[in-house]
Structure 1
């Protein structure tokens, strides 16, 4: 049997919990805080594989093994690796209080509506995009993905960061509220336990029935009437439906809506959980996008500028890009987006003449390409309580998917 003990936020491990153990495994600080049984072997966790092999030898010989871990070891902890190696029936897990629960408690906030993301041992990209898209996020940090890196990436998002360090240690615990800019300017050391990213206006949240991130929307490809727009200059819902299917926006993704107009595509991507950036050259369009995002309760970063030049100011490469409009600059815009998109570029065009150049821009960047001409007819009333079919303007939708082996020029 392997007993896995979560130490909580600094809670001591009773001597009785490790009594009779012939092997005790854990971080150095955990091992130093307990009195090991006489003759017990001690392994300080570093690379996991050698420790698992040592545990396997003891388990096969019927010896008792104790593993010490921080907080709740079943929450982004060692329980997963142990269960995969030894099976759940050989584990006796005694959970402590997780750092996430402790951090929200210190902040005086409920966290049943929080999104929790781990950046420990991972690139911070996913954590940053989740923080951009959601009002209440807990980030488990690690080297290269701590408060400074998060702060630098979230300067323009209107967030407050709660940095919780050395939770449970009476002498060292610190819980600080800082702006992203303040977080970016500091060296936080190695004691950070968790960072909370909060939208101050929405941090309390609504009463929930199901924990975790909000459920996805009940529908998408919303009617044009659900958005403020100018002179019907909006991606029609039939086109938007297929565009969303090809973009595949999801939690942790970053999506650009270039030539956004009303921002309908950006808003819908944000409703589906992605971080969204809308690029629009018209000042009145920028205001409409902001109003549409607010009306649908989502965060969309709006960039006022004309593509492709405005794209150079966007530091983070997108997972997917939607390009609307069809001016003379379209090939250059598609080329700029294709150079940076990690997964998909979708282009909507009313002018068929633009299709060959847009397709060439995608294939030259290493994308497989496909497309369709969408020409729909909608029900429309006629006098006499009868109905006719009213044709909408045809739109050519082109999409490119990056070949897995073709990553040149894309930030990894």
Structure 2
């Protein structure tokens, strides 16, 4: 028997939907969807609350399942196929399409993430990292929760409520104000980096913006960063640190004792949200300048760790570029999956490892002693040694 999934967006039914409904033995949908379409008198109606009991009634029957927008876009089509169904899909316009049509903005540069039935954290981290992100919301992950989570990041939210419905409204507010308001449960959010004037997206070729890894790769040369008298995590050390931190879209990385911010900038270039903690005003300014030079955003928190770490949003990974075991202990207490510590002083290796073990991490480490090619006056080359650095890391194994 045929299962037809019909998308609804408040406009006339998609072609073929009326015929499928007229022949249906069973029609499944949310109450608002069942009330919005003509139903045959003989068809059984099932309100879509808990999903599994409703799906169990589909087997062997000519059925129509009503869904919002494009049911193949973060919708029920995936679940149906997981259950062995091969539905005919008649889509309407997705809520993301409608949102951008309402605001008159192109959206090929926009990352689209879902917090509907999923953890809110990864979606918020994409909002923190990107200049433009569309978020499909859900209970406990609506505009207010998104706005509250963006505290510390300058963002504007465009909230589209009940698109295509009688309560449709599109509102533009600062993220902080969004956190204080009540919103329609059917909302989609556009999160934009706050600027004085609306930006016209650059012409691109890849939907969602430039893909990661970025052009030029990672572990950039030390000369790619403005730094204070060589106070920059060397490229070879950075390469291994990035491998252990695993920065990617949806994650938040802290760079504690950031110095030049080279690690934070590289994490941001790989798609992560990045936060740099730095006590020196001049180095904090360098972090901002380096982020701007590489076209990424790094939130800079001025202060001395471990006190400056209190109240910051929970990270997925932490890089500690300077400081003792007390900073490592405070970083681990924030609950990241991974902590990576760079050490020049040998007497800090054992206490750092002990701090990570005490926090429940499985530990590892390596010493990096790189020698770089350096040109001699006659054009020949020699090996010029850099200062050896020990990386000690901890990883949570059960997540």
Q: Structure 2 matches for 1:285-304, cutoff 5 A?
A: 285-304=283-302
Task: Tell me the alpha carbon deviations over residues 18-76 of structure 1, each in whole angstroms, 9 at most, x when there is no partner.
Answer: 111000011101101122112100110011111111001xx2xxx31111111000001
For residue 267 of structure 2, the aligned residue among 262, 266, 269 is: 269
Say yes or no: does 1:354 pair with 2:351. Answer: no
The equivalent of 2:5 in structure 1 is 4
The one of 173, 177, 180 equivalent to 2:172 is: 177
- The answer as to 2:321 corresponding to 1:324 is yes
Q: Give the equivalent residue in structure 1 for 2:67.
A: 69
Contact 1:9/1:99 (CA < 8 Å) preserved in 2? Answer: no
Residue of structure 2 equivalent to 1:410: none
SS in 2 for 1:55: coil
What corresponds to 1:379 in structure 2?
Answer: 373
Establish whether residue 157 from structure 1 lines up as the match of residue 158 from structure 2.
Answer: no
How many residues get paired? 392
The Cα of 1:9 is off from its aligned counterpart by 4.3
* Contact preservation (8 Å) 2:4, 2:88: yes
Residue of structure 2 in register with 1:196 after alignment: 190
- Counterpart CA distance in 2 for 1:321 and 1:130 is 17
Match of 1:132 among 128, 150, 159: 128
SS at 2:58 equivalent: helix
String of CA shifts for 1:332-354, please: whole Å, max 9, x gaps.
00001112233110000100011
Shift of 1:306: 0.4
8 Å Cα contact 1:307-1:333 kept in structure 2: yes
Kindly indicate whether the alpha-carbon contact (under 8 Å) linking 1:8 and 1:95 is maintained by their aligned counterparts in 2: no
1:106 and 2:102 aligned: yes
Distance verdict in 2 for CA 1:244–1:9, change over 3 Å: farther
Q: Which residue of 2 aligns with 1:186?
A: 181
Comparing 203-212 and 117-126, the one that deviates more: 203-212
Distance 2:160 2:92 in 1: 17
Cross-structure match for 1:166: 162
**CA displacement at 1:206 relative to structure 2:** 1.6
Q: Secondary structure at the match of 2:33?
A: helix
Say which of 15, 18, 22 aligns to 1:19: 22
Counterpart Cα distance in 2 of 1:68 and 1:204: 36
1:55 alignment counterpart: 58
Give the C-alpha shift of residue 356 in structure 1: 0.6
* Residue 370 of structure 1: how far off its partner (Å): 0.9
Deviation at 1:111, TM superposition (A): 0.9
SS at match of 1:245: helix
Q: In the alignment, what sits opposite 2:77?
A: 79
Alignment of 1:391-402 (within 5 A): 391-402=385-396
Deviations, residues 202-248 of structure 1 (Å, cap 9, x unaligned): 85322122212421113100001000000000000000000000000
Matches within 5 A, 1:335-350: 335-350=329-344
Scaled by the length of structure 2, what TM-score is found?
A: 0.95
Equivalence for 1:366: 360
SS in 1 for 2:310: helix
Instruction: Output one character per residue of 1:148-175: Cα deviation in whole Å (capped at 9) or x when no partner.
Output: 1111121322211000011112x42100
Aligned CA distance change for structure 1 residues 152 and 229 (closer, same or farther; 3 Å):
same
Structure 2 gaps of 5+ residues are: none
Q: 1: distance between equivalents of 2:84 and 2:376?
A: 70
